[in-house]
Chain A
Amino acid sequence: MIMIFGVPGPLLFGQLLLGLINGAFYAMLSLGLAVIFGMLNIINFAHGALFMMGAFAAWMLLNYVGIGYFPALILAPLLVGIFGVIIEKTIISRLYKLDHLYGLLLTFGMSLVIEGLFRNAYGSSGLPYRIPDILQGATNLGFMYMPNYRGWVVLAAMVVCFSTWAIIEKTSLGATLRAATENAPLVQAFGVNVPRLITLTYAGGVALAAFAGVLAAPIYSVNPNMGSNFINTVFAVVVIGGMGSIMGSILTGFGLGVVEGLTKVFYPQASATVVFLVMVIVLLVRPRGLFGKAA
């Protein structure tokens, strides 16, 4: 057996892959948080609950309507995105003129309500969601066996993250979005319907979370707490990467997933805390985050 740094190769690579998968979820979720924060000035604590809703939407589509995994990858983000439009228009939009803290409290409260409702209806033991047939099984990569579904998750997450980056950095819609993040009143005075742009941004960030939720459904069991298990780490990722940098969120998300995976191999006791340790160090050395711009 190949040994790398005194560790069996398959174990190392296996943990690296697990790290990449966690990193894929960190990246998708922190990306949405960064986009929403940039545009709405709201720290969206409901992000984890919306991620969970994405997974539940996929489960419901399959079990109530018979719609399978791949259509759900499109439909669930759409449905949760519409839910996002409704809560942005009716509730969140009332807070834009207030301190960040109010948005944080409101969205935190919303996440408790949403999770509570799902726990009431479906219990907290978790519901199974089958991996689609075409992604069953594993592929021998020579140095390790890779479960096909996990490879698919990493690939799909990368495609979605980089598409989001390209839309924001390379298109005219993205330019309008960046401009509105800098100076929304002026962009509105140029004739752009900024309130609608804000609603669409929130819906987009929420849809990203829901997409991640669908990807997660076959890996983790679909349960009301699946979002809150993730979200603390995701906030640490956002802090480490620095608010407001799209590429920063993506790279930090994947990077920290890998760091976590490697820690599981070399010093498993620290694997749950290593992200927070990195956060402390980054905050001490570079308070605005690795990719954050100076205020």
Chain B
Amino acid sequence: MLEINGLNAWYGESHILHGVDFEVRQGEVVTLLGRNGAGKTTTMKSIMGLVPRREGSVKFRGAETIAMMPNKIAHAGIAICPEERGIFGSLSVTENLMLPPVVAPGGLTVAEIYTLFPNLKERAHTAHGTKLSGGEQQMLAIGRILRTGAKMLLLDEPTEGLAPVIVQQIGRTIREIKNRGFTVLLVEQNFRFAATVADRHYVMEHGKIVDMIPNQDIPTSMDKLHDYLGV
């Protein structure tokens, strides 16, 4: 579904990604693991076209997207839930939820999103999206891209800084949307959480993919993982 080859990215003078190669197959949940600064978020942003300069190849459903504007990539069917969540303070909760345009049929209805995240229904009339708690903001950031019909979701550290009970809820949500046929690329610091939702894990170091670990091999790869992630 998503094939990335020789992806390079720059912020100004700093060269962040040095030839990233990996693929995500239809219906998979794949994680990018790695230490801070390894280039995980930059990889997500590069897929979406949100870096100032990128080179290489990002193919989505066989079509090259490297030269496309972000809005065209969104209409091809990729949606991002950014690391900083990107909830808009000048928009109400409902306005935040309805903001991303529908790009394809087959997205979740608002009722289905409220079933996944009952808290959001209770807070629907909150006047400023940023008045929500961190967990609620994360649910809103995920919920609003489920509406759009994009089938490839980029979730950048959706569990960062959240209480364990909310992390579990987000884990259930990721398994649920996988069952519905969505494909997910997930950035995670917490590989124990990643192991509960993902099919495969790519490990990043210094702007490159250095290893791929299928989820069933996690128990036998613990030493290697500790080494990579420094935990």
Bound-state Cα–Cα, A181 to B103, Å: 22
Q: Which of A20-28, A85-93, A144-152, A191-199 contacts B (4 or more CB under 8 A)?
A: A191-199
Given A172-B98, A183-B86, A186-B82, answer yes or no on A191-B91 (Cβ-Cβ < 8 Å).
Answer: no
The answer to whether B89 and A191 touch across the interface, beta carbons within 8 angstroms, is no
Residue A109 lies at the interface, judged by CB distance under 8 Å to chain B = no
In the complex, which residues of chain B have a beta carbon less than 8 angstroms from the beta carbon of A191?
71, 74-75, 100-101, 103, 148
- Given A178-B91, A183-B86, verify A190-B69 contact (CB < 8 Å): no
Chain A interface extent, by class: 10 to 19
Smallest beta-carbon distance A176→chain B, Å: 7
> Out of A175, A179, A182, A192, which one reaches B71, CB within 8 Å?
A192
Q: Is there an interface contact between B71 and A188, defined as CB atoms closer than 8 Å?
A: yes
Q: Which residues of A contact B89 (CB under 8 A)?
A: 182
Question: A185–B70 contact, CB under 8 A?
Answer: yes
Beta-carbon contacts under 8 Å, B58-80 to A: 69-71, 73-75, 79-80
Closest to B99 in A: A179
Is the pair A189, B91 in contact by a Cβ cutoff of 8 Å? no
Q: Residue on B with the closest CB to A185?
A: B50
Looking at the assembled complex, report how far the CB atom of B193 sits from the nearest CB atom of chain A, in whole angstroms: 24
Q: Are B88 and A189 in contact (CB under 8 A)?
A: no
CB–CB A175/B75 < 8 A = no
Contacts of B75 in A (CB 8 A): 191
Confirm or deny: B55 has a beta carbon within 8 angstroms of a beta carbon on chain A: no
Tell whether, in the assembled complex, residue A179 and residue B91 are in contact, meaning their CB atoms are under 8 Å apart: yes
Contacts of A178 on B, CB cut-off 8 Å?
88, 90-91
Complex Cα spacing A188 to B80, Å: 11
A181 partner residues in chain B, CB cutoff 8 A = 90
Q: How far is the CA of A18 from the CA of B201 in the complex (A)?
A: 71
Whether A175 lies near B148 (C-beta < 8 A) is no
A187 within 8 A of B: yes
Tell me how far the C-beta of A173 lies from the nearest C-beta in chain B, rounded to whole angstroms.
Answer: 11
Interface of B, secondary structure class, is loop
How many angstroms from the CA of A187 to the CA of B95 in the assembled complex?
Answer: 13
Contact between chains at B90 and A190 (CB < 8 Å)? no
User: Interface 1/0s, chain A 56-95, versus B by CB < 8 A?
Assistant: 0000000000000000000000000000000000000000
Q: Contacts A185-B50, A185-B70, A186-B82 given: A192-B88 contact, CB under 8 Å?
A: no
Q: Would A175 and B70 count as touching, CB distance under 8 A?
A: no
Within 8 A of A (CB), among B97-124: 98-101, 103
**Chain A contacts for B95, CB-based, 8 A:** 172, 175, 179
**What is the CA–CA distance of A181 and B74 in the complex, to the nearest angstrom?**
19
Residue numbers in B under 8 Å from A179 (CB-CB):
88, 90-91, 95, 99
Considering only residues 177-235 of chain A, those with a C-beta below 8 Å from chain B are 178-179, 181-183, 185-194
Check if B90 sits within 8 Å of A182, measured CB to CB.
yes
The answer to whether B148 touches A190, judged by C-beta atoms less than 8 angstroms apart, is: yes
User: Are B50 and A190 in contact, CB atoms less than 8 angstroms apart?
Assistant: no
Q: Is the CB of A189 within 8 A of B99?
A: no
From residue A98, how far is it (CB to closest CB) to chain B in Å?
Answer: 15
Partner of A194, one of B71, B80, B90: B71
Roughly how many angstroms separate A73 CA and B82 CA in the complex, as a whole number? Answer: 44
Given contacts A182-B89, A186-B82, A190-B79, contact A176 B99 (CB under 8 A): yes
Residues 160-219 (chain B) with a chain A CB within 8 angstroms: none
| A205–B48 CA distance with the chains assembled, in angstroms | 31
Q: Bound complex: CA of A183 vs CA of B80, how far in Å?
A: 14
Query: Given that A189-B50, A190-B100, A191-B101 are contacting pairs, would A183 and B79 also be in contact in the complex, using a CB cutoff of 8 Å?
Result: no
Q: Is the CB of A190 within 8 A of B99?
A: yes
Determine how close the nearest CB of chain A comes to the CB of B136; give it in whole angstroms: 18
Most buried by A among B71, B98, B101: B71
18 contacts across the A-B interface (CB closer than 8 A): A178-B91, A179-B88, A179-B99, A182-B88, A182-B90, A185-B50, A185-B70, A186-B50, A186-B80, A186-B82, A186-B86, A189-B70, A189-B71, A190-B101, A190-B145, A190-B148, A191-B101, A191-B148
Interface positions of B (Cβ within 8 A of A): 48-50, 69-71, 73-75, 79-80, 82, 86, 88-91, 95, 98-101, 103, 145, 148
Interface residues, chain A, with chain B CB atoms under 8 Å away: 172, 175-176, 178-179, 181-183, 185-194
